[in-house]
Amino acid sequence: MNTIDKIKGKLRHRLVRIMRYTFLYPYIYRSYWHSLFFKGDSTSDNQYFYFSAKPNIGAGIGHQLANWIAGYWFARQFGLKFAHLPFSSDKWEAFLGFGENETDAATLFQSGYQSVRLPLFHEFNEKEVGGIKKIIQSYSNKKVVFVAEQDQFYKAQFGVIKEIQNKFYSATARQHDKLSFKPGDYNIAIHVRRGDIVTESINRIPNKSLRFQGNDYFVKVLENTIQNIKTSKPISVYLFSQGTVKDFSDFNQFSNIRFCLEMNAIDSFNHMVHADALITSKSSFSYKAALLNRGLKICPENFWHGYPQSEEWILTDDDGNILSI
């Protein structure tokens, strides 16, 4: 992305943020104006319609995955076919493999499809959802890829859990996976979010400080997890975070722990996905790994995305106490 595109993106983000909850908001979209003048054909089968969402190029991979999943989910909700827009990193694109066997949006654009941006909408607001459906119908019998506004929110990201797991485990990249886990052990991965969250919490940036969890929380969750899991295998613990071993001296009580502080993001994510049990933080990064993980997931109850009701998902309170087992 060049400098001009970055500037345009920032200006648009600011405009959307300012206008979002005003009555004028829909009017900043050409698609909304189109729906005012063209009603479309309600009997059309929308065979030429696709829906997509662009992963936020300025965000981390957890955030980008939320964008992609929202596009995949809402394509289904509106009865449209899905068009894939790639992640910002070629390495993550290849690693995840979500675009394999999907229709590529860029190819559609090259073949004459029109890109139509949609306004943000609240998924549980019938009026806003109805407005989106009206916009879609107004383009009936045209070749269109409807693109969600940047960061269109979808709360219950687990709604496509089976589909994204199938994609991930069948991806070409799985042939090259290398894990440090011992095959005969019960491997527990624990993600302790640090890095930017520490700096921004210290500086009292409100939104970020709500996501910070101290070492005491994770020690308590790890203790409870080890006490409650049912396995005859030796237990090994792998802690994924940023910083130095000294920052995690609270965990020295666990003799079977390995600190993975220098491991790159993709390898860390991959280990979280393949762990027998995964302890997540208030982080989109480990939450997305949990969606792909087929083992046990232990997660903070207070989080901005939802969890499925399943024995594989265990929730904790803010003090690290197990709420379900």
| H or E segment and range at residue 246 | none
Q: What pTM does this model have?
A: 0.90
Average pLDDT of the segment spanning 66-81? 97
The residue count of the chain comes to 325
Q: Which residues of 136-174 are buried (b: 16+ CB within 10 A; e: fewer)?
A: bbbbbeeebbbbbbbbbebeebbbbbeebeebbeebebe
3-class secondary structure, 156: coil
What letter represents residue 248's amino acid?
F
Contact (Cβ atoms closer than 8 angstroms) between residue 311 and residue 296 = no
Task: Write the pLDDT tens digit of every residue in 30-71.
Answer: 999 999 999 888 767 678 899 999 999 989 999 999 999 999
Contact (Cβ atoms closer than 8 angstroms) between residue 156 and residue 82 = no
Task: Write the pLDDT tens digit of every residue in 126-160.
Answer: 999 999 999 999 999 899 999 999 999 999 999 99
3-class secondary structure, 293: coil
Contact (Cβ atoms closer than 8 angstroms) between residue 248 and residue 266 = no
CA–CA gap between residue 215 and residue 226 (Å, rounded): 16
The CATH fold assigned to 177-316 is Rossmann fold (3.40.50)
Please give the structure tokens belonging to residue 303. 């989080």
Please give the structure tokens belonging to residue 207. 């939104």
Task: Write the pLDDT tens digit of every residue in 263-297.
Answer: 999 999 999 999 999 999 999 999 999 999 999 99
Please give the structure tokens belonging to residue 90. 């070629």
The radius of gyration of the chain from alpha carbons, rounded to an integer in Å, stands at 22
- pLDDT for 199 beyond 60: no
pLDDT band at 200 (very low <50, low <70, confident <90, very high): very low
- pLDDT for 84 beyond 60: yes
Break the chain into its structural domains and give their ranges.
Answer: 3-168, 177-316
Question: Tokens 């983000």 correspond to what residue?
Answer: 13
Task: Write the pLDDT tens digit of every residue in 237-273.
Answer: 999 998 899 999 899 889 899 999 999 999 999 999 9
